[in-house]
């Protein structure tokens, strides 16, 4: 039962980010409430900061690094209802890969300089955080970079920290774009989508599917991520995000259109194999304890 509980929490955390990406604010509130009731408030606060930089990096300027969980929910809803800007995620990913020695991220043109800057920032973070404030030319940029530095210092996965550094770099180099509301309707977020490569059960099922359909595990993991897990309700032009996708697919020997077709072909199979798990996750999220006070209403 304990392992089951841990798996459900892992899947619930995954679901929160998928709901934000697709703009499903009702589900965002419901999942955040479930996690908070289970003692995951500290994780929500920490994850909210990273999620802003990853999904809509200009929202980093609205961060208030307090211990108020209600403020985190407000920011999650704001991220859900904003047009996504994924350049910090894309540039951060490419910089992280280069910092680990993968030179295939380089395209042989002037834009490589930005990837090299992030790669060096990852290897020499103290130097980066001393330098980047000197590149700011407005109070807005300075404030944004200060928030980003604080989020970075709080730790996280290497890729999370790379997103934050990339966001600070982007903010210091240009006027910070305004985070605009999405004019479109939310995209439905079925529960099975949360059980992906970021969860133990998702990895297992995707591995089984890969063997069944004669794909490599890396191929199925990445096509399911980019064409299902990473779906957003609206996306602003994000050149670094697009570059990341093309680079990553190339590393698993797939072209963009080929990858889309691959996922469309096997999506239903994955959905069917996760049906029981999705129902279990739905029950976990939607079952409430009437005697426990609700943090979010």
At 3 the pLDDT is: 54
At 176 the pLDDT is: 93
In a domain, 25, yes or no: yes
Looking at the structure, tell me whether residues 206 and 164 fall in a common domain.
no
Last residue of a domain, one of 115, 141, 173: 173
Last residue of a domain, one of 173, 194, 227: 173
d(Cα 242, Cα 91) in Å, to the nearest integer? 10
In a domain, 196, yes or no: yes
Per-residue pLDDT tens listing for the chain (297 residues): 445 567 899 999 999 999 999 999 999 999 999 999 888 999 999 899 999 999 999 998 887 654 555 688 999 999 999 999 999 999 999 999 999 999 999 999 999 999 999 999 999 999 999 999 999 999 999 999 999 999 999 988 999 999 999 999 999 998 899 889 988 788 989 999 999 999 999 999 999 999 999 999 999 999 999 999 999 999 999 999 999 999 999 999 999 999 999 999 999 999 999 999 999 999 999 886 544 444 443
In a domain, 296, yes or no: no
Last residue of a domain, one of 149, 173, 197: 173
At 290 the pLDDT is: 45
Looking at the structure, tell me whether residues 166 and 53 fall in a common domain.
no
Looking at the structure, tell me whether residues 110 and 247 fall in a common domain.
no
Looking at the structure, tell me whether residues 189 and 163 fall in a common domain.
no
In a domain, 291, yes or no: no
At 288 the pLDDT is: 62
Looking at the structure, tell me whether residues 136 and 187 fall in a common domain.
no
List, in order, residues 6 or more apart from 138 with CB less than 8 Å away. Answer: 175
Looking at the structure, tell me whether residues 206 and 158 fall in a common domain.
no
Looking at the structure, tell me whether residues 127 and 60 fall in a common domain.
no
Looking at the structure, tell me whether residues 143 and 164 fall in a common domain.
yes
In a domain, 297, yes or no: no
Looking at the structure, tell me whether residues 277 and 243 fall in a common domain.
yes
At 295 the pLDDT is: 43
Give the structural domain span for 279. 2-83+181-286
In a domain, 140, yes or no: yes
């Amino acid at each position: 039962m304990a392992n089951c509980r841990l798996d459900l929490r892992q899947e619930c955390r995954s679901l929160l980010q998928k709901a934000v990406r697709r703009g499903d604010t009702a589900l965002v509130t419901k999942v955040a409430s479930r996690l908070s009731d289970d003692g995951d408030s500290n994780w929500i606060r920490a994850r909210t900061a990273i999620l802003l930089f990853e999904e809509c990096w200009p929202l980093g300027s609205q961060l208030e690094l307090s211990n108020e969980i209600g403020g985190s929910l407000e920011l999650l809803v704001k991220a859900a209802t904003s047009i996504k800007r994924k350049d910090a995620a894309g540039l951060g990913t490419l910089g992280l890969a280069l910092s680990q020695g993968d030179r295939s991220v380089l395209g042989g043109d002037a834009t490589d300089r930005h990837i090299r800057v992030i790669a060096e920032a990852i290897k020499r973070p103290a130097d980066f955080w001393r330098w980047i404030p000197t590149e700011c030319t407005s109070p807005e940029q300075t404030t944004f970079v200060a928030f980003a530095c604080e989020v970075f210092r709080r730790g996280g996965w290497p890729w999370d920290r790379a997103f934050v550094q990339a966001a600070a770099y982007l903010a210091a180099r240009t006027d910070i774009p305004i985070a605009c509301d999405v004019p479109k309707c939310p995209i439905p977020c079925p529960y099975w989508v949360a059980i992906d490569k970021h969860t133990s059960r998702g990895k297992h099922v995707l591995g089984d599917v890969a063997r069944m359909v004669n794909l490599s595990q890396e191929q199925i993991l990445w096509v399911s991520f980019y064409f299902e897990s990473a779906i957003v309700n609206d996306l602003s032009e994000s050149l670094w995000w697009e570059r990341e996708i093309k680079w990553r697919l190339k590393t698993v020997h797939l072209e963009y259109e080929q990858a889309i077709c691959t996922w469309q072909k096997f999506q239903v199979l994955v959905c069917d194999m996760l049906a029981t798990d999705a129902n279990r996750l739905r029950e976990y999220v939607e079952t409430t304890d009437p005697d426990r006070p609700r943090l979010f209403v």
